[in-house]
Amino acid sequence: MLLPALLLGACVTPAPPPPPPAVMPAPPPVAPLAQTPLTHVSPQDEAAPLLAYHQSLRRMQQGELLKELSGLSLQQSTPKLSLQIGMILMLTRGSGDLARAQAQFDSVATSTEQAAQSLKPLAQLLSSHCAEARRLSEHNEKLSAQLKENQRKTEQLNDMLEGLKAIERNLPVRPPPQSSAQGGR
């Protein structure tokens, strides 16, 4: 039964080979674009000096940061200046400084001034960074409070345990129980 099936299978004509892949004609050459002078500064050009400024701030000590902040506070407010002040406030980490920094960034992100338009993406990024840092800081404070509470409870339980051990040491020693086999004699 198997032999006739194999013989019939050998009579089948093989499938034709797949057609050769189609040759795609080369794309027409693209004419180079005419060089036109840019009339506006790209956002990257606006952000690069601010990013370099932020790197220089990160190398400063706390006193230097505060001195820089007081110097900037005397200048007339611009979107760029608001970002610089916010960057300093992010690094000083005083009470409420992250919230103040985020407010500076949000003011640039929502500004309708023409000077703020190219700085909006950077301001939004820094604002979201501040929001995340604030969330993490609040979470850290919450965990610290829980840790202190757990340490206090652990101390209470240890004191109770030591008290129970002291009571146990002061109890009179019981005589060993006599087995019923010895008592029956």
115 contacts 78 by C-beta, under 8 angstroms: yes
User: CB count, 10 Å around CB of 183?
Assistant: 8
Say how far apart CA 175 and CA 185 lie, in whole Å: 20
Residue 81 per-residue DSSP state: H
pLDDT in tens, 33-78: 445 444 455 555 788 999 999 999 999 999 999 999 999 999 999 9
pLDDT in tens, 115-166: 899 999 999 999 999 999 999 999 999 999 999 999 999 999 999 999 999 9
**Sequence-distant (≥ 6) Cβ neighbours of residue 62 within 8 angstroms:** 92
Burial class (CB in 10 A: 0-12, 13-18, 19+), 107: middle
